[in-house]
Amino acid sequence: MTVLDQQLEVKLEQFITNALAEDIGSGDHTSQACIPADERSKAKLLVKDPGVLAGVEVARRIFHHVDPGSTVSVHLEDGSPISQGDIAFEVECNTQALLKAERLVLNTMQRMSGIATQSNRFYFEVEDLPVKILDTRKTTPLIRFLEKWAVRLGGCHNYRDGLYDWFMIKDNHVEACGSVSKAIEAVAAYQKEKGLNLPLTVEVRNLMELYETMETGMVTRIMFDNFELPLLAEAVATVNKRFETEASGGVNINNIRKVALTGVDYISVGALTHSAVSLDLSLKIVK
**Does the active-site annotation cover 287?**
no
Whether 170 is a known active-site residue: answer: yes
**103 labelled catalytic:** yes
**CA–CA separation, 8 and 2 (whole Å):** 12
From the list 103, 132, 182, 257, the catalytic residue is 103
Residue 5: partners with Cβ closer than 8 Å, 6 or more residues away? none
CB 46 within 8 A of CB 282: yes
Please give the radius of gyration of the chain, using alpha carbons only, rounded to the nearest integer: 23
Catalytic entry in 44, 61, 138, 257 = 138
Q: How far apart are the first and last CA of the chain?
A: 31
140 contacts 147 by C-beta, under 8 angstroms: yes
Q: Crossing angle for the helix pair 6-24 and 56-66, nearest 10 degrees? A: 60
Report the phi/psi class of residue 269: left, alpha or beta, with left for phi > 0 and alpha for psi in -120 to 50.
beta
DSSP type of residue 48? -
Query: Active-site residue among 40, 48, 137, 170?
Result: 170
Catalytic residue selected from 92, 212, 225, 244:
225
Which residue among 102, 203, 209, 246 is the active-site one?
203
Could you confirm whether 225 is annotated as catalytic?
yes
Residue 86 appears among annotated catalytic residues: no
As annotated, the active-site residues are 103, 138, 170, 203, 225
